[in-house]
Amino acid sequence: MTQILRKACLGLLRLFGWRTSLTWPPEPRGLIMVYPHTSNWDFPLGVLFKLGHDLPAHWMGKDQMFRWPFRRLLLAIGGLPINRRERTGFVAAMAEEMRRRDWLWIAVAPEGTRSHGEYLKSGFYQLALAADVPIGLGYIDYGRKQVGIDRYVRMTGNEEQDLQVLRDFYATIQPRKPGNAGGLKFRQREP
């Protein structure tokens, strides 16, 4: 990536009053949880952050986004189209892909929508455990006007304990639309 593009992306963020904070990923593979995700503005802010810091990370998005005329651009900036309409063994396939690659960080918004939802989609959690990778805690804080990834955590498999770590970290992060922020909990699975 050219230095000019990096400076332009960070300059745009600064122009609109945003600051950034990045602690570089501690390992070659992992996930970046972006929470809360309540506005369409989250996407351009996140892309400017990614490009501005030359962060070699991909991001997952609904496959419907990846249509003409935007498909090539979205793929070029790290997009990975995901079909969420049917069960495809995604977690196992992505865990294997992470083991196969030398470097693979994937950003995911586990709310799965910009509207209010009671639960997070648990695929990111299952993937972090299956691939044994850390999760970067990414955020877009509209209160402080800051975009960042400051901390990396490893999930233990104890859901309540792991969710409490996430709740503690995100407790002070202010979304653009607070009423749309989903709960930091998983839907109870049926036995």
pLDDT tens digit string along 119-146?
788 889 999 999 999 999 999 999 999 9
Instruction: Say whether 122 sits in a helix, a strand or coil.
Output: coil
Query: Who wins on pLDDT, 157 or 62?
Result: 157
What per-residue confidence (pLDDT) applies to 118?
A: 72
175 vs 80, residue with greater confidence: 175
Residue 76 within a domain: yes
Omega into 36 within 30° of 0, i.e. cis? yes
Mean pLDDT of 15-40: 95
> Does residue 187 sit within a domain?
no
pLDDT computed for residue 49 by the predictor: 97
Secondary structure element (H or E) that encloses residue 30, with its range: strand 29-34
pLDDT given at position 85: 64
What's the mean pLDDT in 95-117? 82
Burial (CB < 10 A; 0-12, 13-18, 19+), residue 177, is middle
According to the model, what pLDDT value does residue 16 have?
96
pLDDT band at 175 (very low <50, low <70, confident <90, very high): very high
Domain presence at residue 55:
yes
Exposure string over 103-139, b if 16+ CB within 10 A, otherwise e: ebbbbbbbbbebeebeebbebbbbbbbebebbbbbbb
The chain-wide mean pLDDT, for the chain, equals 89
pLDDT of residue 181: 80
Structural domain containing residue 63: 3-174
Average pLDDT over residues 104-125: 79
* Entry field: residues in the chain: 191
**Residue 73 — very low, low, confident or very high, per pLDDT cuts 50/70/90?**
very high
* Averaged pLDDT for residues 41-70: 91
Look at residue 188 and tell me if it is in a domain: no
Is 75 a domain residue?
yes
Residue of 26, 37, 23, 33 whose CA lies nearest to 126 = 33
pLDDT band at 90 (very low <50, low <70, confident <90, very high): confident
- Does 112 fall in a domain? yes
Distance (Å, rounded) from C-alpha 17 to C-alpha 22?
17
Residue 185: pLDDT band (50, 70, 90) is confident
Decide which of 191 and 90 is more confident. 90
For residue 117, pLDDT over 80 is answered with: no
Domain for residue 115, yes or no? Answer: yes
With respect to residue 185, please indicate whether it lies within any of the assigned structural domains: no
Helices (H), 21-132: 42-52, 71-76, 90-100, 123-131
CA distances from 129 to 60, 75, 94, 123, 164 (A): 18, 26, 12, 10, 16
Q: Tell me how many domains the chain contains.
A: 1
**Rounded to an integer, what distance in angstroms lies between the CA atom of residue 14 and that of residue 112?**
28
The single residue listed with the structure tokens 């709960």 is 183
CA distance 140 to 41: 10
The residue with greater pLDDT, 113 or 72, is 72
Strands 104-108 and 79-82: unpaired
